[in-house]
Amino acid sequence: MKNFNNESADIGIGTMIIFIAIVLVAAVAAIVLIYSAGELQQKATITANEAPSKVTTNIFIESVFGDRVNSTMPGLQPGIQKILIRIRPEVGTVSMDLRQIIINEMSSSEIRILNYSNISNTINSFGGSAIRDEDGSFTADFPVLNSGDLVDIEFHTLDYTKPILIPRQTIILSINQERGASVALDLTAPNSFGNERYVKLYP
């Protein structure tokens, strides 16, 4: 009997197995690449949508004044009892909600974190009042600023014997928004207040 050794068939089967393995590896790699590309595209879309608001959303500080009258004690006090910050949204700014703004007040002796409150005389809070609001978007319960609005932010000390600022003292305010860059203010009181109730601190 004559024996046949078909070595070519063995080589062909081995080659086919290697080819199938390569195809499977390539398929797995393609799935991973497609998933990664889709995830990157989703993140890029989210970033593209958020980037304009982060760039354009900003607060413009019109002026900052100090008020030396405390609601609990009539007459002028030796130190500033209340800070009034007049703000407006920059051109192109999307709607801005004061409830999402946090103000950090830093002095040489303490750091306070202030949140919005529609109730006056509350500790560690600031309030707001509309100076110009043509579209009626700003209320005490829903303090939303749109382009063209002008609003006064105010916060005060509850104890008239512990003023916010005395002559020659400096405090740093950081106004942190939900979107956009934070705004930093260095406020230094003048050497003397004289007999003036309102003291200009910025610009």
Q: Tell the burial category of 118 from Cβ atoms under 10 Å away from its Cβ (0-12, 13-18, 19+).
A: middle
Q: Tell me what pLDDT residue 178 has.
A: 81
User: Is the pLDDT reported for residue 129 higher than 70?
Assistant: yes
DSSP 71: T
User: Is the pLDDT reported for residue 4 higher than 90?
Assistant: no
Q: How far apart are CA 116 and CA 155, in angstroms?
A: 10
Over residues 2-13, the mean pLDDT reads 59
pLDDT digits (tens, 9 = 90+) for 112-127: 999 999 886 788 999 9
Q: How far apart are CA 91 and CA 98, in angstroms?
A: 18
Q: pTM of whole model > 0.95?
A: no
Considering only CA atoms, which of 130, 109, 121 is closest in space to residue 81?
Answer: 121
Considering only CA atoms, which of 85, 97, 94 is closest in space to residue 173?
Answer: 85
Over residues 151-171, the mean pLDDT reads 94
